[in-house]
Amino acid sequence: METLKIGFIGAGFISKFQVRAMTQLNNAEVTGVYALAGAEELQAYAQEHGVGECTVYGSIKELCEHSDAVALYIPNFARIEVMEEIVDAVKGGAELKGVICEKPLARTVEEANRLVELAKEAGLATSYHENQIYMKSIHNALNQLSPVQKAMGPMALARSSEEHAGPHEPWFWDPTRQGGGVLADMGCHSIAVSWFVLTPYGKPVDFLQPVSVSADISLLKWGSPANRQKLLDRTGVDYSKTPAEDFCTGIVTFKNPETSQLVKGQFTNSWMYDKQGLRLLMEGLGPGYTFEVNTLRSPLEVFIGDEAAEAVADAESALEKATASRGLLAVQPNEADLYGYVDETKATAEAFLAGKEPLLNWDFGLEITKLIQASYMAAERGVTIDLTDAKVQKELKTFRSLVSQGKGGELFYK
């Protein structure tokens, strides 16, 4: 079988998760890596997992020259400079078929527009890696409900949340580098999933038109003096000066352009969820039917008593963002598949090898960026944002949230 030779840019958390996902694929391999740190470690990890040579390259140009596609598995603040180098490499003769970008596409609408523009300039197909839309459980639910939906009508309400106790690397906590707090980091997942779930079966991902957004952002845990100190000691980020929200919730209203029906996507995200580890919770409610996904429910439970706990070296082997290594642990044996990483790379490889774009491209990523920024706008101003207003759309093009400017204190420490 033909495989897509993917060059990884970045060798951190998501790169490793993607390697684990690729052990379950036969149409993609990690051909190389370029990263500011961790490249050799990723190479060893990829080779050990049998997913490719993962040659370490000293420049983006060289990586592009030896890859069919490159993946931006780098922090949010590095997207533009890296993409500019990719475009230069393509103009210099690198024959790339496409480029992948992890969620969120960008920190602002301005940056997202620039990324879309750069990909077009280089003639590259794009893939937006929003893994949760590719989750098998979501696709199973929608397939199974499709005849019911046809008879009864589409879903009217989707609820989606992603919560854990907080990110692993310092840059995620710094709103000026990451682009915000939990809304920018994880709201993008939940808003995208709700939009997808609400879309009438068989229609394109952007069929429903977003018409308004209301939202709340709050600092519920990490703003207290004791927790600020903990965070400062752990990450170097000072939430007494540049706080970001650790909780957000909101509603995006969508309009069906054929029937004018309004449907609602409700999102909730937090970095203050002190349970076993990461939980994704998704629900879809239609007339006479519902579905629910809860990733903390697993058929596998493991119990480790206090006496035995000393022997457990790596708590994250149970679950992403695991918080405990003893007691009754929820264990997910195949997280890379559960969260959709396997299917997103499979779909991207199939599409790029066929000279196409997969289900989600960067234009979709741009639309999600707009909804995130409109949510910040709604929360800061305490109003519902009307997305059908041309003035709002114009303002969103250059909007930068107070949180992302390091001015979150004006909202959280009034």
Ligand X SMILES: NC(=O)c1ccc[n+]([C@@H]2O[C@H](COP(=O)([O-])OP(=O)(O)OC[C@H]3O[C@@H](n4cnc5c(N)ncnc54)[C@H](O)[C@@H]3O)[C@@H](O)[C@H]2O)c1
Q: Under the rule (CB under 6 A), what is the footprint of ligand X?
A: 9-15, 34-38, 73-76, 78, 82, 102-103, 131, 169
> Which CB sits closer to ligand X, 134 or 222?
134
CB of 129 to ligand X, least distance (A): 6
Calpha distance 316→321 (Å, rounded): 6
3-class SS at 7?
strand
CB of 235 to ligand X, least distance (A): 12
CB of 75 to ligand X, least distance (A): 5
> Which CB sits closer to ligand X, 2 or 169?
169
CB of 298 to ligand X, least distance (A): 18
Q: Which residues contact 73 (CB under 8 A, 6 or more apart)?
A: 8, 9, 10, 11, 12, 14, 15, 18, 102
> Which CB sits closer to ligand X, 11 or 349?
11
Residue 285, number of CB atoms within 10 A of its CB: 18
Calpha distance 413→240 (Å, rounded): 9
Helix axes of 109-121 and 362-381: crossing angle, nearest 10 degrees: 170
CB of 338 to ligand X, least distance (A): 12
> Which CB sits closer to ligand X, 173 or 247?
173
**Number of residue whose CB is nearest ligand X:** 12
> Which CB sits closer to ligand X, 191 or 385?
191
DSSP state of 185: I
> Which CB sits closer to ligand X, 155 or 278?
278
CB of 290 to ligand X, least distance (A): 25
CB of 196 to ligand X, least distance (A): 15
Q: Are 320 and 278 in contact (CB under 8 A)?
A: yes
Residue 210 CA, distance from chain mean position: 19
Only one residue has tokens 């003893």, namely 326
> Which CB sits closer to ligand X, 168 or 230?
168
> Which CB sits closer to ligand X, 9 or 116?
9
DSSP of 68-126, one letter per residue?
Answer: SEEEE-S-GGGHHHHHHHHHHHHHTT----EEEEESSS-SSHHHHHHHHHHHHHTT-EE
CB of 15 to ligand X, least distance (A): 6
**Among the listed residues 338, 213, 335, 321, the one whose alpha carbon sits nearest the alpha carbon of residue 267:** 213
